[in-house]
Structure 1
């Protein structure tokens, strides 16, 4: 498709057209898009702010209720107060009752309640008929007072904190028992609704409607003109289980609201109350329309001013820009030459000088980058070789064979033949490791090493450990990086079988996948790992950074497989706590030793060569 050309337009006309197409039109379209979504953003931001404000109000209410709950709990658990109120204690005269009030009863309620909370009412309904009442705080629980809602609710709660509402006041109550679990008294605080109303009105003035309700929808307090003791249980916004903000429509007036519902408690320590905040959506939409009109006006004025400035300055820079554009076309064709500019040292002059500097730097960079790329390739190759060599050295053991042989002979001479065989297997295992040449060995040799290692472990753990190895003959002679399976088996013994009390089993299986790759599975039924530990190990295995470590582990094996074969091969792990762990090694099938392939591709069987 040929580009659209405007042969009759000069550079100035084209720049004007470019201005309209690339600045004016996109800005207008962008402004419309921004203004069109601004209503939703305003509602979202306002809802978020109101939700944060509601959460703060809920916290303030919880702090207030916590103060009352602490007082009730502290008084109901006061052992000295319990002793004074216990029905088993007999006050022989009024003087003894007066002494009890003077010594403790008045003091504990004054400093623990009246001094801190003058607006609420504290009642302690006691069952000791010989103790005088003070007609204010300490009241004898006669038949009439035992019929009170707060008294009956506390007794039914059996020593737990109970919340409720009786007429105009909210109460929190708790029973007091003696050592024989006999009822001694009921401690109750009646909270005025005005305290909740004051917390609601602490918020910034707004058109929002707030309701504090119980589980049944009975309003405990609100910031509306409606009086408490009415119910909103049948209203559409009353959804106590809804945790996210939602929209409702007032069926009577047709007003729309965004509703924020916050749970104040679960009915145990805090009461099972909810705070509902109703945000009027119609007002928010009106504000959004005003902002949209103002935004259109401001953006239009800005575009007109920018167009005038652009048109005024365009004629002054067109000629020199033409020359610069022409020179850019020459450079684009491959002729890297600098440009002569005799104009003033303004922005165009700086641009021209920068262009000339760029041409000179580009000429130098072409030569420098060629050499740098060669050096980078050489460094990368050497780094990979060094990492491979370092990883190999981490797991190439050097052992003292003569010492092991002396130990074996000593055990044999003493008649401990079983231990002598184990030492002999260990000596052969070490000699096998030391005699290995290169990085790759046959799979059969690797599993032979694993069997020797497991025989030593079985001698150590006796019947606690059992194992099995499955190796088909068709893949026994394929080559793998040496000491690839043994570290995984060692982990299975150490972290899987050793840490459980009963018997454990380790299974090593080798086969080929449906895609033709080699798969080695090491599985145990040992302790297993929690999911978070498995996820952490997987992240470490996927990390590109090679960690230098003195220990042999999954990360070492994974890094060596990745260095040899690239992505697509490596280590996969699955584990469940208490059920065991499964580690799967995947790599290509190598039928010949890689070191024997000097310059050609490796003899790899599979779907691809890596």
Structure 2
């Protein structure tokens, strides 16, 4: 069973049980409240009727004595209140055991109101002969109403007391049931939480332990096993598959490392059979000094430039150098080519001094100049120009290598900018190819928009490098 299914089944069950507890408690409280309200409403009406009857009798007495408009208005006002209470009495639910009493009570109220109206009419018409006897009758009826009101209150209390006891018993039983449901729900929640956490935490802890062992290099840790088919079980199967693939990959890597070791040994043996570079540099220096002694100064300078160029090219390519070092190497290279091309080519250089100490990968500029010689101006008999311009712009340095040679087509431009091209360049150069230079710059700076080429056929070429300033 999936974890999601477990949650969708057990959580609604627990929520339903909690809602049942709340519903039972709410219903029991609601019944007690309704019963209590019904009893209180009836008792309140009886007491109000009794009080309003006394007030009517009092204001009627005042009106008889003073016969003024103020007492008359008060009498009429309380008479309306008493009529309103009489109408409310009709709307009350009546039980069979007190139906007759309520009916007599209702007619007694009618008699009281009728006698009261008769007295007020006699006084208004100035008929003073009968109102004394009528007032005595009204007092008598008022005493009956008061007694009946008290009797009805007693009857309501006696009637609702057993009902109230039953409601209290029902409420107590519902409360006990609610407590039981609450205890059961709590126990179920705890059991479910422990069961669900164990089914998730224990396998995950096992996976964590296996992952730590693999991280330490121990690939002999046993495969992950679990009886559950939930998401954790699926994760364990994927982990086992990943561990199996990792073992295969590690074995393949060990084979590759062993092959590389053998290749390095072969390369070392091959290098041991070659001329020692220091011996070559010393020999070139001797030739240079000998040429200088014999008066061949150009030959001496050319030999020194060749020695410096070879020494610079034998540096580690993963080392960063300053732009100043790259410019010196470019000048050495140009002096060698100047001996070949003589006045057919001129070299223009324009560099901001603040760029000289900026770091750049080794052999980033000289291969571009070499590309300009080989592919750009080599065919030109005169007027060839190769230039190097280095400027700082805000937070970048712009390096431009340009020539006025034959230019290149869009296809050639695309192949140079496509650093993922697996085709090898035609190797007529002495060092790195142009594509390799571009690729090293992108890897060094972690950007892909460093190189831009502007070129047209027979109008020359510009290779523009935009590199970030080092802090």
Q: Same fold (TM over 0.5)?
A: no
TM-score normalised per structure 1:
0.33
TM-score normalised per structure 2:
0.42
More RCO (CA 8 Å, sep 6+): 2
- The structure with the greater share of residues assigned to strand is 1
- The structure with the greater share of residues assigned to helix is 2
